[in-house]
Structure 1
């Protein structure tokens, strides 16, 4: 019997396996993808915005050191735009530290695989999960290749559409946002200032994430039908379309490499634990990308669970003790639920193209720009190193959702009919 069976060898599952094996626990790591593809994952278009705390967590287990540093781009500012206005609410750290770092997702996956592969305590199983059950004695797993496994604890790290979560009877609140997200790299004429853009334009949501001086990751969110029309364009026409969508703010854009399209579906599991079973990563909380918390929450979840399991192992205790798992669940829920709700509220308001909503969010951003303490708190939260003060369950990022209410209050004092329009 293994100590832990981890279902899913994505970055979070790999990091968890590395942390546990490094502390002497025996691990079975299960994924339907074969070893060559795990060892050399292809670029998938996703650029991950990592906080300083997430970088520290990866450094603690040797993963960060394996990422080529010339592929890491600092984020010095974050700017939020609304509609066609050139005004932006600007966030920074308040000092010389970057807000975070942009890292290609496939390089995180490769680094995590390399670090996990060198550990003696990990048994690899390249097969899909067929079934999973648990009882007071063990979690029991059957794989499609005929392998049968038992473990003291099973952990799901198999995406927001987790099959193991479903088989274990844990429901999830799924929200299909009815939109798709295109990600691709673009070269642009004018150099950026290493700031990340979030642009809530009319009929579309745009992001631009800096990689190098004249190279960025473009993220375009559209209804599925419009996305199909956009991606059907040949490369030159698509480059022109992206230049137009971004308002030529960095001059002409040229597509570099392939485009990738992903459906926008958010998920929040109703429980994070069951009998000898736990959820981490997107299987627990699958975030909308607008607030860039997805991978950061995943890194935190594996760390929160790993430290409890390692401590129990060192003390000779049951690593799947129900109280231990409940404490993990409580901690991760407190850290994620407010921000998950805040993100959904932000998505709801900032993708509403009605005139009242557009004016409210514009006024909200103006007010927010004048709330220097709030912006400073957000910047400090993003740059807070691992091991510093605990992350509050009422993270400063959730304060973004208060901006619309501030705007509505301000609107109530404006002359009619503008106040009625904003309200």
Structure 2
């Protein structure tokens, strides 16, 4: 039987960030990941671009991960616009009333994953155990017993589940989660286009589809298409040469002619929110705690914030000579993370529902909400501050 202080289930970016945040704390950290190490060291392009807030950028710099992200994977996000249906009217968010020149940075998900692997794999006290699946978890006041699929048993003082919004570890811990299936598919890919984007991200809530264009370097954008499953399947099968022109047509030529320059990736559109973020000797992080709708592009920011908050509580307990996995430590993390995530989670889901409706009353409400947002300066400033998370 093997032992460690903290077992992290899931070697994704949030799990690796948490492990790196506890480096040199004196604790022994084991990261359990079912994928082979090669998938962590050299993750493939998955279509996702992450809108990193100023706070998230600062956290990645503190971890030492930022220098490991290639410059061509980092694109400035200057402004965000929301469009509705056939109207040309836009709700705008920018930094005109702030000192910062940008809302944030768009960074490729696979580049973030690779950078965090570089840090975590070399961090003092952190061990990566890859190709390892977890088949059972048992916790009590004395500790945690984790049974692995190969029959090995690992004992730990704390287990942290960071293994996706469909977390098997969360289920093993007996923690329920509310789940909303939007019955849609999200397709993501990169397109090169004729017209410049000027660093502006656009979210267009059309009737029957939602298209977001996230500005990338080299006159490219990350296209995020929210579609009915049948429509998504048809676009997946479409020959590459026809795909760019089809998206340009759907997007009403706002960026001119388009050309597909990456692989296409499709994901189910499901949001989740755990009933609690901690239990005896266990905590949830990342999507295992909060699986956000992509409309606000805030999912990983919450994951990174949660990882930093939990690591901070653990370090404080160690400094004070208290049990690092005690109920008080986990309760403070869980309370803070719920306060930080619950309002935006509910607001995001409500926005997705309202702007996914095409009935006459919904169309009127959608248009009124956009126009009201532009005219309520304090509300708009508060939203910008939330989107930026500027320190």
Q: Same fold (TM over 0.5)?
A: yes
**In the alignment, which residue of structure 2 is the partner of 1:113?**
117
Q: How many corresponding residue pairs? A: 386
**In the alignment, which residue of structure 1 is the partner of 2:379?**
374
Q: Does the CA-based 8 Å contact 1:159-1:282 persist in structure 2?
A: yes
Counterpart of 1:317 (choices 307, 322, 347) is 322
Q: Does the CA-based 8 Å contact 2:72-2:217 persist in structure 1?
A: no
Which blocks of at least 5 consecutive residues in structure 2 are unaligned? none
Q: Does the CA-based 8 Å contact 1:142-1:148 persist in structure 2?
A: yes
Q: Deviations over 1:237-291 (max 9, x none)?
A: 2112101111100101111111000001100000111110000100000000011
Q: Secondary structure at the match of 1:248?
A: coil
Distance across 1 between alignment mates of 2:388 and 2:245? 36
Alignment of 1:3-402 (within 5 A): 3-93=5-95, 94-95=97-98, 96-126=100-130, 127-386=132-391
Q: Deviations over 1:94-129 (max 9, x none)?
A: 244200100000000000000001113112212111
Distance across 1 between alignment mates of 2:187 and 2:136? 34
Distance across 1 between alignment mates of 2:20 and 2:326? 22
- C-alpha displacement of 1:327: 1.2
Q: Does the CA-based 8 Å contact 2:29-2:126 persist in structure 1?
A: yes
Q: Secondary structure at the match of 2:129?
A: strand
Q: Does the CA-based 8 Å contact 1:25-1:313 persist in structure 2?
A: no
Q: Secondary structure at the match of 2:272?
A: strand
Distance across 1 between alignment mates of 2:26 and 2:71? 30
Distance across 1 between alignment mates of 2:378 and 2:179? 34
Q: Deviations over 1:262-321 (max 9, x none)?
A: 001100000111110000100000000011110111011111101001111222211111
Q: Secondary structure at the match of 2:157?
A: strand
Q: Deviations over 1:172-227 (max 9, x none)?
A: 00111100000000000001110111110010011000002510000100111111
Q: Does the CA-based 8 Å contact 2:243-2:260 persist in structure 1?
A: yes
TM-score (norm 2): 0.96
Which blocks of at least 5 consecutive residues in structure 1 are unaligned? 387-423
Distance across 1 between alignment mates of 2:25 and 2:384? 34
Change in 2 beyond 3 A, CA 1:384/1:174: closer
Distance across 2 between alignment mates of 1:291 and 1:120? 35
**In the alignment, which residue of structure 2 is the partner of 1:406?**
none
Q: Secondary structure at the match of 2:22?
A: helix
- C-alpha displacement of 1:380: 2.6
Distance across 2 between alignment mates of 1:61 and 1:368? 37
TM-score (norm 1): 0.89
Q: Does the CA-based 8 Å contact 1:56-1:385 persist in structure 2?
A: no
- CA-atom RMSD in angstroms: 1.1
Q: Secondary structure at the match of 1:231?
A: helix
Q: Deviations over 1:138-180 (max 9, x none)?
A: 1111111232111110000000111111011100001111000
Q: Does the CA-based 8 Å contact 1:52-1:384 persist in structure 2?
A: yes
Q: Does the CA-based 8 Å contact 2:189-2:263 persist in structure 1?
A: yes
Q: Deviations over 1:370-390 (max 9, x none)?
A: 11222222223333434xxxx
Distance across 1 between alignment mates of 2:74 and 2:311? 26
Q: Deviations over 1:387-407 (max 9, x none)?
A: xxxxxxxxxxxxxxxxxxxxx
